[in-house]
Amino acid sequence: MSMWLFYLERLIQAFPFFLKGLWMTVAVSGLSLILGTLLGFAAGIARASRVKVLGFLLFAYVDFMRGTPFLVQVFIVFFILPEWGLHLSAFKAATVSLTFYAGAYICEIVSGGISAVPPGQMEAAKASGLTWVQRMRYVIMPQAMKTILPPLVGQYVLLIKDSSVVSVIGVTDVTRVGWFTVQRIPEGLMVFGLVGLLYFVVCYPLIRVSNALEKKLRTDSHGL
């Protein structure tokens, strides 16, 4: 018991370092979330244009990102790209990796949301004389967003959790702080229990938002 209290005291002393690591996790996740959302929406809407060449390239991109481990993607950006002359810091490499990783999944979410809109809506908008951009902006996307939002928020939660992988390339996020700390406090359950709790604190509000959006979507669907 006295040893456990000793470890707890040292863990409390190390808590400021965990907060710094948590800030790094939020920073890299937040930036990747914003960029990944922009990329994913652009790619998802581009797939809806049904341009064959563009569709093939996006298909290849999405399938590669979804079909390979995220850890491998991080290694490619951090270790392989420098051989081609593109040198990135650990933070930038982590952000680029997470952005393209998230963009692929968000592309599928957006594409699925657009496909869920009845085809008659596009035909009616086209008959009204609207351009393709106007049809997407004023008719299709407002309806598609009802389907897109719940899984999109869920994807944000997955992005934050997957960001723990970037600790392997030297990003001092909360997971890496945990690995450093467990070398000084050999009580893994206590250390990584705290790491898990900090991830939960960040992710739980998004989980609640995602659940609320899904509930609202089901309610609206039943009301139709």
Q: What is the pLDDT of residues 74-105, one digit of tens each?
A: 999 999 999 898 899 999 999 999 999 999 99
CB atoms within 10 A of CB 169: 20
Q: Domain range holding 96? A: 2-223
Q: What is the pLDDT of residues 110-143, one digit of tens each?
A: 999 998 888 888 888 888 888 888 888 888 898 8
CATH number of the domain bearing residue 162: 1.10.3720.10
pTM, entire model:
0.88
Asked if 167 contacts 175 with a C-beta cutoff of 8 angstroms, the reply is: yes
For residue 98, give the nearest of 64, 63, 59, 71 by alpha carbon.
71
Q: Which pair of structure tokens corresponds to residue 214? A: 């899904």
How many domains does the chain fold into?
1
Q: Which pair of structure tokens corresponds to residue 59? A: 């298909």
